[in-house]
Amino acid sequence: MNSPSSRSQPVTVVAQPFDFSFDLASTALVIIDMQRDFIEPGGFGESLGNDVSLLSAIVPACRNVLAAWRRAGGVVVHTREAHEADLSDCPPAKRDRGKPSLRIGDVGPMGRILVKGEPGNQIIAELAPLPGEIVIDKPGKGAFYGTALHTTLQQLNISHLIFMGVTTEVCVQTSMREANDRGYDGLLLVDCTESYFPQFKTATIAMTHAQGGIVGWTATSEHLLGTLPA
């Protein structure tokens, strides 16, 4: 394991419940919703009553993986949870949920909450997309619902997905389940995902690789990085 990958040679990452093998040419790195709205004060995450400071701890590990994946020439997908300005893609069942201090579409300190193009809706500067990378705006929790992601990945002959991002049990887990139902093999990097609820992160990792990998695989970024060119 851990020999440097070439685009056509399968490599293997030590993972749970067993090793995860992938080929760089048919694998995409999917970074879920690393947006100011979730990671910084004044956004959607904080409006729901969460302590958003927990999430920034994963940024250095995410940066390392993204840099290595770019060096290797792998496909990168960034997602943003983002609604149209008229909220036509935000059903009341989502907007009215809970008792947030600010609802989706309301004006907060980083602009309108969870609305496309607003400052708070942008991906944090440390992980900003580069030209040519795929950016998917998604109205739901899953990256496949209401988006062109599956079509785009099929056009690129992508069969394996490596996931990072926030939050583990909400948008990351939903996206991994959607991916699994569509036939992708998915690997979650456990030190590159975070939740507002540490116990939910732990539980999500366990339920992902339980039952022989019922949802997918989990691994540390160190084990992935060992398979990529230094």
The set of catalytic residues is: 33, 138, 171
DSSP secondary structure, 129-180, as one string: PPTTSEEEEESSSSSSTTSSHHHHHHHTT--EEEEEEE-IIIIIHHHHHHHH
Instruction: Assess 171 for contact with ligand TIU (CB under 6 A).
Output: yes
**Which of the stretches 92-100, 164-172, 180-188, 220-228 binds ligand TIU when contact is defined by CB under 6 A?**
164-172
Q: Is 71 exposed, middle or buried, given 0-12, 13-18 or 19+ CB atoms closer than 10 A?
A: exposed
The residues facing 188 across adjacent strands are 163, 218
The pattern of x and - marking residues 33 through 52 that bind ligand TIU according to CB under 6 A reads x----x---------x----
Are the C-beta atoms of 73 and 82 separated by less than 8 Å?
no
Cis peptide before 167 (omega within 30 of 0): yes
CB of 184 to ligand TIU, least distance (A): 19
CB of 75 to ligand TIU, least distance (A): 21
Of 59, 63, 118, 64, nearest to 87 by C-alpha is 118
Instruction: Return the residues of window 136-155 that contact ligand TIU according to CB under 6 A.
Output: 141
> Residues 117, 118, 121, CA angle at the centre, nearest 5°?
90
Instruction: Return the residues of window 85-144 that contact ligand TIU according to CB under 6 A.
Output: 141
CB of 90 to ligand TIU, least distance (A): 12
**Which of the stretches 100-108, 143-151, 152-160, 163-171 binds ligand TIU when contact is defined by CB under 6 A?**
163-171
- Taking the least distance from each CB to ligand TIU, the nearer of 87 and 166 is 166
CB of 68 to ligand TIU, least distance (A): 24
How many residues in the shown chain lie near ligand TIU by CB under 6 A?
A: 10
Instruction: Assess 81 for contact with ligand TIU (CB under 6 A).
Output: yes
CB of 30 to ligand TIU, least distance (A): 12
- Taking the least distance from each CB to ligand TIU, the nearer of 48 and 203 is 48
Is residue 89 within a helix (H) or strand (E), and if so which, with residue range?
A: none
Please report, for residues 21, 59, 78, 143, the alpha-carbon distance to residue 166 in angstroms, rounded to integers and kept in the order given: 24, 11, 12, 12
What residues line the site for ligand TIU (CB under 6 A)? 33, 38, 48, 81, 141, 166-167, 170-171, 196
